Every structure is written in C-alpha cells, then in structure tokens.
Amino acid sequence: MNGISRRGLLKTGVAAGVLGLSGMPLRAQSRGGKFTAGIGGANTSDSWDGRTHSDLFMIAAALGGVYDALTEVAADGSLQGELATSWEASPDAKVWTFNLRQGVTFHNGKAFGADDVIESLQMHVAEGSKSAAQPLVAAITEMRKITDHQVQFTLEAGNADFPYLLSDYHLLMYPAGQIEESIAKGIGTGLYEVVAFDPGVRFVGRRVADHYKGDSAGFFDEVELIAINDNTARMNALLTGQIDAVNRIDFRLEPLLRANPNVSIQEVTGNQHYTFPMLTQSAPFNDVNVRRALKYGVDRQEMVDKILLGHGKVGNDSPIGPANQYYHAEMEQLAYDPDRAKFHLKQAGLDSLNIDLSASNAAFEGAVDAAQLYQSSAAPAGININVIQEPADGYWSNVWLVKPFSASYWSGRSTEDWMFSSAYEAGVPWNDSQWDNARFQELLYSARAELDSDKRREQYYEMQQILRDDGGVVIPMFANFVQAISNRVVTPDVVGNTAQMDNNRMLERWSLA
C-alpha cells in the first residue's frame, strides 16, 4: 500500500484501525441525548444533492450526518478510510485501487458496493452538471468495478493527493439506481437517518442502530440543526440555552459569550479565508494593473483588527494557509500602499476607478463592514468603491460567480492541489474570478503528479507568488474558526482545522457531557 500523503500521514484503512473510525484515539464518550446547533449558511433552495452544497448547514447535515464519503480527513489532518477501507496506487500515482467497506447498508436497506461508488461519482460529470467537484471527477478517465467491493480509478495524469480528494463534501455516496429518491428523501449510509427536513429552516436526524462505525462515532441519539442566518439571533439562542452550539460567532458579542459560565469559545487556526474575487474576463478587471491597484488599495491589517478583532492574520492573495504543508510563509507581504495603487491605475491608463462591490454577511460575518473598510482605504488611491448590500438568501446563487466584484468565503482545503483545482484551475465551476494564467496552469499539472516533496514545494511556492502578483482574488485576511458551544457538549482534545465545526463533522465526533 502506498503511503503517499501531504505530511506522511496518509492512512490506509489498516493503519486507521488503531485510531478508530473517528480519526482520533478511542476514548470513553457518553452516548445518548439530543444535540441542537444553530447554524448559519442555510438557504431555502437547500437539498440533499451534494453537488449544490456550499455552506455549513447542508455540509454538516450531509457529511458525517446522513451521508458518507469514501475517505475522511481526521481532526489531526491525516487521511483515513470511511466507506473505503484501504487503497493503493501505481508507481506513477495514475491508477488507484480502492477496497470498499463490506456489510454497509443505506438507510433503506440497500447494500453498499462498487456500483454505488461509480454512479455517485458519475453524477458530477453528467451533462449539465454544475457541481463544484466536476473537475475532480473529470480527471478520472476510467472507473472500473473489479468486484462488488473493489473499484479501480484511472486518472488522466498522476495525482498524489487523489485519496484526499475523495473526502470532498460534494462527493457523497448515493444508492445506485435510486439517486433521485435519495436526494428527495435523504437516504445515505451516514450515522443519522432523516426524521425531518425543511430546506433553509431545520434538519432533524435519528441515530442509526447498529451502524458500521459502532461506538467510535455518532454519540447523540438525535441531532437537530436549526437555520439561524442572522448572527445576533444565533448568539442569543446559545446564550439563552435554546441550542448547544453555533458556528461563526459574532465578535462584537464575544464578551457576552465569555461572561456566560455555561458557554465555551472554541478557536482553531486553519486555512479559512475571506476574499473579494474580481471577474478577470470582464473590464476593468481583465487588466492586471487594475487588479494590482486593488491589491495595494486594501488595508489588510485594519480588516484583521476591526472585522476579526484579531482572530486571524493578514492574507497575501494566496489561498494556501498555515494548515497546508507547502504554505509559503516567507513570501513578501503585500502592503497597503495608496501611492502604489495610483501607479498601477496610471499603468492601466486610468486616473481614477469607479466600481461596485457586492457584499452580504451571508458571505462571511462582517462582509458588509469589510467592504466599507475597503471603500475607505481605496479612496486615497482614486478608487471609488460603491458598496452594494445584497440580500442574504440566495447570495451564493445570485451574486457569487455572477457579480463582477463581490465578497466571498473559503474554508480552505487540506492539500494545495485540492484548493487550486477547486477554485483556480482554468475553467472549473468555482473559479470565482474566471482567472487563467498559463504558467500557473503548467505548474498546477506538473505539481499534481510530482511525488518528490522538495520539487512540489518549489512549484507550489511559485504558484502562490503568481497568485499574489497576477491573480484575480484579493484575500485580505485568514480568519480563525471561532465557534461557541454549551458546556453540556464535549469535544475531542484535537478539533479539525480544515473547516468549521471540527471539519464539518461535529455530529459525528462530539457528545454530551
């Protein structure tokens, strides 16, 4: 079995067995009770179709809740099997063979097997699919069923990170021949089966008896996610004891949360970053000098101080963060420099620039305030930003990827290639700036298949510099994951840092005291 991983921590199912299916050393945790969380990021268009999932409410309800993926990123950043038990690669990392877990059934009683894997992945590359995972699956040139519990994937080029990609929250496993029914009713192999689901409002799940994960995960009898997109309302629901946990705390209310003896704040440093993408295929953002003017026109430290209240660090227009193996920490930091911004405007043939910036706190908490800070800091450079406050509901479908300049959010990804191939590879659905740089693409494909860590580091460092200097996304800040929980909730000693709420897996990993 190949031990290829970003940090030498890639775990096959055999190695993962000593940790248990939760990804951390097994320890005594109480079973039972009901867990209720108030979660932002819900929409009335929500469904069990993993291709459409983009924010925590549906991701947490599905991944580690109602559905499973083939692999799972553990809290310590290592990779382990979920519906796959082990895998091995050809020497060029182009052909991967996965052994599937036996004895697993969907909530409707159908046995899980190779046909389910192939059909679940094919839906992402079906005609008309707008799945963000489309480029991940499109890189597979052949999916072959070897036995009922073994699948072989042939890739168009070697990819050392391929097993990591199969943990993507879009790549949920559905029952073959019943995918439409599964999406309509929420039929998966996860720890919780659907009791109630009202899109954009509420999800209730009941623990599956005799689940294949046994006693190592899924410690609640019942779970409930309540959609509370308004941040103040979410904090108040926790303070008054109506719910047990909230994501994305309102930093303005942090003193109240800390003063409450029944509430604990959990802060984790990871790759979460807040962004302002520009559509680089449209004027004026198709001019690199306009993009550079906007990069120098933002006061990054001011945003960290006033929006994050210090719960994060300045960004450098690269999405690769401190939780990634090849994070270029020594790369020269872009500074706030209105004079240099003016210089680049003149290089673009402009004395001033008038642009709209669309923002909503649905993008990230404080996005509207951040846009207004951007407006203020850019003005001395002759950049006049008109902030448009957009409605929260429908923001991701009506604004993001649509408006020329907008506020956005990324939790980051576990590997560099995963992040780049999701949002910066030319032509992928979630390339929210429509950016295309020939040298970047060349390095992307080369680094993806490179097994020499030193060579990969050189390539990823150069790619981060290209993004800083040429890219179409302003990344002013990396934000810590800051969430709050009731003291009746117990969390593991190590909490995941690749996404909110324990890598989106709170329903699987947390328990009641």
Q: What is the pLDDT of residue 22?
A: 38
Tens of pLDDT, residues 202-221: 999 999 999 999 999 999 99
Other Cβ atoms less than 10 A from the Cβ of 225: the count is 27
Tell me whether domains 1-29+68-186 and 31-48+58-65+190-269+481-513 share a fold.
no
Tens of pLDDT, residues 102-156: 999 999 999 999 999 999 999 999 999 989 899 899 999 999 999 999 999 999 9
Domain ranges of the chain: 1-29+68-186, 31-48+58-65+190-269+481-513, 273-479
Query: Within the chain, how many helices (H) and strands (E) appear?
Result: 18, 21
The percentage of residues in the chain with a pLDDT greater than 90, rounded to a whole number, is 87
pTM of the predicted protein model: 0.82
Identify which of 249, 350, 239 has the alpha carbon closest to the alpha carbon of residue 292: 350
Q: What is the pLDDT of residue 309?
A: 94
Whether 318 contacts 328, CB under 8 Å: yes
Q: What is the pLDDT of residue 252?
A: 87
- The CATH number of the domain covering residues in 273-479: 3.10.105.10
Separation CA 479–CA 314 (nearest Å): 9
Edge-to-edge strands, sheet with 263-268: 192-198, 202-207, 222-227, 34-39, 245-246, 481-486, 263-268
Q: Which fold has domain 31-48+58-65+190-269+481-513?
A: D-Maltodextrin-Binding Protein; domain 2 (3.40.190)
Whether 324 contacts 331, CB under 8 Å: no
Widest Cα–Cα separation across the chain? 68
Q: What is the pLDDT of residue 7?
A: 36
**If the chain, 513 residues long, is cut into consecutive pieces of 10 residues, what is the mean pLDDT of each piece?**
37 31 49 96 94 94 97 94 97 96 98 98 94 92 98 95 95 98 98 98 97 96 96 95 95 92 94 97 97 98 96 97 93 98 98 98 94 98 98 92 96 92 93 97 93 93 98 97 96 92 97 95
Other Cβ atoms less than 10 A from the Cβ of 288: the count is 17
Q: What is the pLDDT of residue 451?
A: 81
Reported CATH class of domain 1-29+68-186: alpha beta
